[in-house]
Amino acid sequence: MSDPGTTTETTVGVGGAAESTDMVLNIGPQHPSTHGVLRLRLVLDGERITTAEPVIGYMHRGAEKLFEARDYRQIIVLANRHDWLSAFSNELGVVLAVERMLGMEVPERAVWARTLLAELNRVLNHLMFIGSYPLELGAITPMFHAFTEREELQRVMEEVSGGRVHYMFNRVGGLKEDLPAGWLGRARHAVAAVRARMDTYDRLVLGNEIFRGRTRGVGVLDAATVHAYGVSGPVARASGVDFDLRRDEPYLAYGELADVLRVATRPEGDCLARFEVLLDQTHNALDLADACLDRLAELPPGPVNQRLPKVLKAPEGATYAWTENPLGLNGYYLVSRGEKTPHRLKLRSASFNNVQVLGELLPGTLVADMVAILGSLFFVVGDIDK
């Protein structure tokens, strides 16, 4: 019985003889690991891919339209969910846009706490891909280690927010509430425990010659293509594009962390370079978290939010805020008509641009390398479909 996911296209030549046969192969739309529901339509010439088309939209929820029917407090729950591995960072971008529209200053304690939690969320995001990418190539053991480390940090994130995945801890004007008593010490212990075991991935994954053979020189993405498609985050930096919003246009407390923040880059642009950048960023995010914990320990007790009116209305106008999310640049274009709901809130999600480049990367490669290339782009399909 023929596979319903494949078709053949035959060209008939002079005299009715078949000249060539191309196979059209559908990859998906099953749920591949952590990424979400994605379909790839590949045209094959033997074992080699000739064209590739990402087919998206299977998870579309219309969040941007729903923003228009929710007030400025309620939209946080919608923004929280499109990249389920970066929930805190998603909330953060929306509240930064609203605060910019209101001209609102956030208490210093909230600024440092937000920076700390954003970096812990970055580690959680990266650990998922550090574990799942080798899994997609056939190595199951790194996934067990990654979930062990994630649990250390999930525990402190759950304690502070009440949520394990969708934290809902940001508020317009600051945070939901102050950090629990003794939480800084427990968070410091969790960060130290994760850091102490991070060399596992250097030995177990990067030190594995099979992993290196499957990823070195595969799926090379050059800097010109990065710029043409708007690719960002660790994928772009692995192609030599030295840009990180936290350093180049600092927000939150990143301007005061310039001596700790290190922007990891690689010139190769292949699957291996993308994994190495992700691993380097995880190490640095742990260092940034420690620096934030030190600063929070020095700050005197104080408020973590601003008092807001019962009905919050943003003045008429438009603004744009962007953040260096774990997967790349997220942008938030907010338009207000002076009402309690946004007139328009457009999301620029990192995963959408990063996956577009598959149409350039996959042609000319072998089917066997397709999963290695796909997984190395570190995307979440909900972040594409919004």
Q: Any idea how long the chain is?
A: 386
At residue 92, the pLDDT reads 95
Residue 132 lies in a domain: yes
Residue 240 lies in a domain: yes
pTM of the model: 0.91
Average of per-residue pLDDT values in the chain: 90
**Cβ neighbours of 145 (radius 10 Å):** 19
In whole angstroms, what is the distance from residue 177 CA to residue 220 CA?
A: 45
pLDDT in tens, 273-330: 999 999 999 999 999 999 999 999 999 999 999 999 989 999 999 999 999 999 999 9
Domain count, the chain: 1
Instruction: Give residue-wise pLDDT tens across range 162-199.
Output: 988 899 999 999 999 999 999 999 999 999 999 999 99
Mean pLDDT of 128-149: 92
Is residue 161 within 8 Å of 113, Cβ to Cβ?
no
Residue 229's CATH number:
1.10.645.10
pLDDT exceeds cutoff 60 at 12: no
Q: How far apart are CA 89 and CA 328, in angstroms?
A: 11
Does 155 fall in a domain? yes
Is residue 18 a part of any domain in this protein? no
Q: Look up the domain containing 200 and give its range.
A: 63-384
